[in-house]
A = this chain, B = another copy of it.
Amino acid sequence: MSAPTQVPPAPAAPAFADWMRCVQAEVEAALARHLPPAEAIPARLHQAMRYASLNGGKRIRPLLVFAAGELTAAPAERLQIAACAVELIHSYSLVHDDLPAMDDDVLRRGRPTCHVEFDEATALLVGDSLQALAFELLARKDFGEQGRQLEMLRLLARASGSCGMAGGQSIDLEAVGKSLNQPELELMHALKTGALIRAAVLLGALCGAALSTGESAALDRFAKRAGLLFQVVDDILDCTASTATLGKTAGKDAAAEKPTYVSLLGLERAREFADDLRKQALEALAPFGERRQRLVELTGFITQRKF
């Protein structure tokens, strides 16, 4: 399958590590611009929103938005907005998950969590405000074709809510101390982490030219496998990496008696399962030819990451 004709012949693409750093820097700068200034009233809330969203994330979801955008030759301005919206949802979820009523964690991205650095009430409002900002940003004027934009809003809202990320978190809470079987664990993760990872991939592609029905289905297969892969690797890291490397408390899933792929399958079989998922994800990308390069590289990065 050849590249769409509207794309001019490009010079050799930058190496993956350079591309990644470039996207991360671009997203960091865009988030800093789109978040309210730290001195705007109410200043304490705005400072806390910036504290929780800037500096230090891996920006996996924005990277997925940009990588998927290559499939449809999506313009960078649009990808930036979609990437920021997804990352704001992710940031809000971390702030709320770390609260004492949920995971009660004190360390995130190597720094005190938002409610430790500020206070619980502020952290609650930070999460609420970041969620609203994500939708405000994605609903902005002059984004592009409006029907498509509304489709993206529905997709992000659904991926975030009770049938997506928040729903997965709820299942996670109920699962503490229980043993789940593999289908139950997969459903939990498909919602908790998978829904937003999938949304990132689909939103990135929706920023550009329309995909065929077959291509959309293939991309959705990739997105679902990649979301699960991300979680399995997360489970492996939670029990093999140190707190210092992770920048968040290691071993806490086991300590909290949460079911994980490692507790279900054992470390070795969890690694094999991750490798199977990686292969399935890459196979799903076959119809996209050379345009899939960044997604292939990013899938490798997700599999091999150390934090």
Chain A residues proximal to chain B, CB less than 8 Å: 36, 40-42, 44-46, 49, 92-93, 96, 99, 101-102, 119-125, 127-129, 131-133, 135-136, 139-141, 146-147, 149-150, 153-154, 157-158, 160-164, 166-167, 169-171, 173-174, 187
B44, B99, B128, B153: which contacts A153 (Cβ < 8 A)? B153
B150–A146 touching, CB < 8 Å: yes
B125, B133, B147, B161: which contacts A157 (Cβ < 8 A)? B133
Across the interface, which residues of B come within 8 angstroms of A44, CB to CB?
Answer: 170, 174
CB distance from A293 to the nearest CB of B (A): 32
A42–B150 touching, CB < 8 Å: no
CB distance from A43 to the nearest CB of B (A): 9
A120–B101 touching, CB < 8 Å: yes
B99, B149, B187: which contacts A124 (Cβ < 8 A)? B99
B125, B139, B141, B162: which contacts A45 (Cβ < 8 A)? B162
A157–B135 touching, CB < 8 Å: yes
Across the interface, which residues of B come within 8 angstroms of A166, CB to CB?
Answer: 45, 125, 128-129, 132
B120, B131, B136, B161: which contacts A158 (Cβ < 8 A)? B136
B167–A41 touching, CB < 8 Å: yes
Interface of A is mostly: helix
Across the interface, which residues of B come within 8 angstroms of A96, CB to CB?
Answer: 124-125, 128
B129–A127 touching, CB < 8 Å: no
CB distance from A49 to the nearest CB of B (A): 6
Closest B residue to A154 using CB positions = B139
Can you sample 27 A-B contacts with CB below 8 Å? Answer: A40-B163, A44-B174, A45-B166, A45-B170, A93-B128, A96-B125, A101-B119, A101-B123, A102-B121, A125-B169, A125-B170, A125-B173, A127-B128, A128-B128, A128-B161, A128-B166, A129-B162, A132-B158, A132-B162, A133-B162, A135-B157, A136-B157, A139-B150, A140-B154, A146-B149, A146-B150, A150-B150
Decide yes or no: A162 and B101 within 8 Å by CB, A42-B174, A131-B132 being known contacts: no
B49, B129, B162, B173: which contacts A49 (Cβ < 8 A)? B162
CB distance from A143 to the nearest CB of B (A): 8
Task: Kindly state the separation between the CA atoms of A150 and B99 in the bound complex, as whole angstroms.
Answer: 33
Across the interface, which residues of B come within 8 angstroms of A161, CB to CB?
Answer: 128-129, 132-133, 136
Task: Kindly state the separation between the CA atoms of A123 and B128 in the bound complex, as whole angstroms.
Answer: 13
Across the interface, which residues of B come within 8 angstroms of A127, CB to CB?
Answer: 128
Closest B residue to A146 using CB positions = B146
Across the interface, which residues of B come within 8 angstroms of A173, CB to CB?
Answer: 121-122, 125
Q: A128-B161, A133-B157 are known; give 16 further A-B pairs, CB within 8 A.
A: A36-B162, A41-B167, A41-B171, A45-B162, A45-B167, A96-B124, A99-B101, A101-B101, A102-B121, A125-B162, A129-B161, A129-B162, A131-B132, A139-B153, A139-B157, A141-B154
